[in-house]
Chains A and B, each alone.
Chain A
Amino acid sequence: MSGYGSPATGVVVPAAPMPAQATVWAGSHQAPLLDAARLALARDLQLAFRKRGQLVQPLAFFAMVTMLFPLAISPELARLREIAPGVLWAGALLASLLALEFLFRDDAYDGTLEQYALSGQSLTWLIFAKTVAHWLLTGLPLALMAPLAALSLGVSEAAVPGIVASVAVGSVALSLIGSIGAALTLGIKRSGALLSLLTLPLSLPVLIFGARATQLAITGGPLRAPLELLAALAVLGVTLAPLAAAAAVRISLE
């Protein structure tokens, strides 16, 4: 280490015009955790509405997949009804995978994740807020679109509430599981394929129970059991996924 810099030459530093309260460091004004999480959520929502293309892409994909089946297979309603749960859920799973790539990518590039990690707030909560935003922007719209897709597959209107519920709850689990995969693949270029490879096996229980719930909703059976299993997966995801994703994000920043 070397000594002090040379004394003042030329450049004049103006006398600091500081307000009186400025000498107090912000430690005392630390934003409450919930405010910070709400800001992180609001930021993602606002950004998503500024970049609508990215928002619409997975939804358009879901609509196309589910609407191509009746055209490709047959207009026979009984047959379509039979494959409807599989089509709906495979479509929803792939659409949510498609959206996952964007979950952390931009934030990793522009240094937002770094700032979150250094914010003095719980990174786990901020990541959770991001995942909630992600669900609001993909999972929820998918659940709202599911009835349309179901109707195009010849499903009766009576099944609509059950289908919406199963997609809504199942997509919560999908977003949370996906957040771990997205965080783990952060440091990797062209991570899309690896992300699917990591996330798909973990998502299979959601696919199985979701399709089962949808099937029962269509046939009018009791769909409480698979719905509860989906909810259990979602709760497990809420408690564990943000922790794992935050740890993975931290590693990616190193």
Chain B
Amino acid sequence: MHDERLDVESLHLWRGDRHVLRGVCFSLASGECLQVTGPNGSGKTSLLRTVCGLMYPEAGRVLWEGRDVRSDLRTFHCALVYLGHEPPLKADLSARENLRYWIGVRHRFGAAALEDALERVGASPWCERLVRTLSAGQRRRVALAGLALSMVPLWLLDEPTTNLDTEGQQLVGSLIGEQLSRGGMVLAAVHHELPASLRELRRLELAA
């Protein structure tokens, strides 16, 4: 069960005439967290999107459990959840409905698990409200509930602490901590450092 592992081998990505990723290499084993830092425009988001297979790199490979993910993207996608900088929520659905559809498309979960996840991020009091009436921080919390609900080994997080208050940022830290302690992996693009109390916190710095 703990043999999941992500290897990224010299990724090169061009966007137009910009060489965004210049030979990025790293590997991530069970229970490890890698935070990707770097100035704006240094390719943090591009790296995450390339790793999860949304963008095609010009050179280099992404290996999941030793196999090139391009040979079986479906299996790889079942093992990961990607959270972009905007929470993937529908403004005209309530927080709870959003989670039911968003995560439900991926995998089965019980009603209790859904309530637990909402409780965990402090969303229970307002989970019936339409997302359009929620603040940016509350939307971020709903996205975090989706993270807590999707039991997958690999989390790819783009600025997970954006718009969150201090308590919310600690929540991100503890969610990541739980994910690592059950043998998961986290790859996070961050501006603000993740809580340093996390074990196995490594850093990958992208140059501008």
Which A residues are closer than 8 A to B by beta carbons?
1-14, 16, 18, 22-27, 29-31, 35-36, 39-40, 42-43, 46-47, 50-51, 106, 110-112, 114-122, 126, 253-254
The 8 Å CB contact of B92, one of A10, A31, A51, A115, is A51
Q: Which residues of A contact B75 (CB under 8 A)?
A: 120
The 6 closest A-B pairs by CB, nearest first: A120-B78, A111-B88, A5-B201, A26-B151, A16-B178, A120-B77
A120 with B106, Cβ < 8 A, contacts A43-B101, A51-B92, A254-B54 known: yes
24 examples of A-B residue contacts, CB within 8 angstroms: A4-B200, A11-B170, A16-B174, A16-B182, A24-B151, A25-B151, A29-B108, A30-B107, A31-B104, A31-B105, A31-B107, A39-B100, A39-B104, A40-B105, A43-B101, A50-B92, A51-B92, A110-B90, A111-B86, A114-B82, A115-B102, A120-B79, A120-B106, A254-B54
Measured in the bound complex, the distance between the Cα atoms of B104 and A121 in whole Å is: 11
Name the CB-closest residue of B to A50. B92
Partner-A contacts on B (CB < 8 A): 1, 25-26, 35, 52-56, 74-75, 77-82, 84, 86-93, 97, 100-102, 104-109, 150-153, 170, 173-174, 177-178, 181-183, 193-198, 200-205
Residues in A with CB closer than 8 Å to B79 are 25, 27, 120
In whole angstroms, how far apart are the Cα atoms of A12 and B170 in the complex? 8
**B93: chain A residues within 8 A (beta carbon):** 43, 46-47, 50
Query: In the complex, what distance in Å separates the CA atom of A46 from the CA atom of B182?
Result: 36
Q: Residues of A contacting B194 with CB < 8 Å?
A: 5
Partner of A112, one of B90, B97, B100, B106: B90
**Contact count A vs B, C-beta below 8 Å:** 157
Contacts of B197 in A (CB 8 A): 8-13
Q: Which residues of B contact A9 (CB under 8 A)?
A: 196-197
Q: Which chain B residue lies CB-closest to A9?
A: B196
Question: Which single residue of chain A is at the shortest CB-CB distance from B197?
Answer: A8
Known A30-B107, A110-B89; judge A23-B196 contact (CB<8 A).
Answer: no
Evaluate contact between B196 and A5: CB separation under 8 angstroms.
yes
Cα A43 to Cα B92 in complex, Å, equals: 11
A145 to B102, CA, bound (A): 34
Pair A4/B201 contact, Cβ less than 8 Å: yes
Q: Which residue of B lies closest to A19 (CB)?
A: B116
A164–B97 CA distance with the chains assembled, in angstroms: 35
Q: Given that A2-B205, A13-B198, A23-B183 are known contacts, is A39 also in contact with B173, CB under 8 Å in the complex?
A: no
What chain A residues lie within 8 Å of B174 (beta carbons)?
13-14, 16
Return chain B residues, CB-CB under 8 Å to A30.
78, 106-108
Q: Is the CB of B80 within 8 A of A118?
A: yes
Chain A's nearest CB lies how many Å from the CB of B112?
Answer: 9
Q: Which B residues touch A111, using CB under 8 A?
A: 84, 86-88
Q: A5-B202, A39-B101, A120-B106 are in contact. Are A26 and B82 (CB under 8 A)?
A: no
Residues of B within 8 A of A116 (CB): 105
Further pairs besides A9-B197, A26-B152: 6, Cβ < 8 Å: A23-B182, A25-B152, A27-B79, A36-B104, A118-B80, A120-B74
